[in-house]
Amino acid sequence: MKNIEHIGIAVKDLEISNTMFEKLLGTASYKTEEVASEGVKTAFFKMGESKIELLAALNDDSPIAKFLEKRGEGIHHIAFAVGDITSEVQRLKSEGFTVLNEKPKKGADNKLVVFLHPKGTNGVLIELCQEIV
């Protein structure tokens, strides 16, 4: 595991939150992106080597819609950058963590991503991400 690549925050309205975070951070989001396969639209902010990812639901079936319903707005996941996502997944499995998708999938912001089940990580959804080069 390398640095915290980003923190994902679930929001109800991407435009409203985008505006608020621009004021909060004093910088504009550098990209917005829809990931239809995940049912999310995202906005990214960069500060140094860390980012904030705002996540809003694209539809009612979106995992973000379900999260908002259950827990309301707030921190959704913490993402760690990894150099080799496949070997990191093997290492974490051998340590007993529950991997939600063993095959890395294409996430937002040009990344391959794997998620760990929050029940094994003190209730925090963990994302591993590897830059696609």
Is the Cβ–Cβ distance between 85 and 101 less than 8 Å?
no
Residue 85 lies near Co ion (rule: CB under 5 A):
no
| Alpha-carbon distance values, 60 to 12, 40, 131 (Å) | 12, 10, 29
SS3 22: helix
Tell me how far apart the alpha carbons of residues 62 and 67 are, in angstroms, rounded to a whole number.
Answer: 9
CB of 53 to Co ion, least distance (A): 5
Query: How many residues at the interface with Co ion, by CB under 5 A?
Result: 4
In the set 79, 85, 89, 128, which binds Co ion (CB under 5 A)? 79
Q: Which is nearer to Co ion, 4 or 20 (CB)?
A: 4
Residue 8 lies near Co ion (rule: CB under 5 A):
yes
Q: Which helix (H) or strand (E) holds 43?
A: strand 40-47
Residue 10 lies near Co ion (rule: CB under 5 A):
no
CB of 6 to Co ion, least distance (A): 6
CB of 107 to Co ion, least distance (A): 6
For residue 19 the two structure tokens come to 């505006």
Nearest position to Co ion, beta carbon: 8
SS3 36: helix
Q: Which is nearer to Co ion, 8 or 104 (CB)?
A: 8
Which stretch, 15-23, 31-39, 72-80, 98-106, contacts Co ion (CB under 5 A)?
72-80
Q: Which helix (H) or strand (E) holds 77?
A: strand 74-81
- Please report, as ranges, the residues that interact with Co ion according to CB under 5 A: 8, 53, 79, 127
